[in-house]
Amino acid sequence: MDGLIQVVRCFDDEEIIHVEGNIDPTRDLEIIKTELILKDADRLNKVLEDLTRKARAKKDKEMNDEIETLKKAKELLDNGKKVIEGDWTPDDVYFLNKHLFLTSKPSMYLCNVDLESYKKKGNK
């Protein structure tokens, strides 16, 4: 996967219930961001634990460099930021690409609007 397309509801319709009770696209995008960060953090913790255990046994420099990159990614995620928001070297990107973190992918946001808003070319 090269990127994410996030669809967010931007229209009111009393017949379609929203899980949060009201329409707030900004809040919904924050919820999605948080869920992606939590998923990546969970996965990263498992990978980091496994790599650290293997690195102790092997004394492999490349593995240690990968661990350092993953620790930087962990710090970002722990602070509520996406992996893509980090300042990465080409070597860091090499290591990160091995793990396919969801928050390392670019995102496109698709606003799902009602027909009336589409015709007016605007939506609150």
37-74 core/surface letters (b: 16 or more CB in 10 A; e: else): beebbeebeebbeebeeebeeeeeeebeebbebbebbb
The percent of residues in the chain predicted with pLDDT above 90, rounded, is 65
Largest separation between any pair of C-alpha atoms in the chain: 64
pTM comes to: 0.84
- CA 26, CA 9: separation in Å to the nearest integer? 10
- The residue whose two tokens read 């070597």 is 91
Mean pLDDT of 78-101: 96
* Domain boundaries, given as residue ranges, for the chain: 4-10+20-120
Q: Give the tens place of pLDDT for each residue, 11-49.
A: 887 777 788 878 889 999 999 999 999 999 999 999 999
Stronger pLDDT, 85 or 121, i.e. the higher one = 85
Which superfamily does CATH assign the domain made up of 4-10+20-120 to? Obg-related GTPase Ych/YyaF, coiled-coil domain (1.10.150.300)
Q: Which two tokens stand for residue 21?
A: 């009770």
Q: At 93, is the secondary structure helix, strand, or coil? A: helix
Q: At 64, is the secondary structure helix, strand, or coil? A: helix
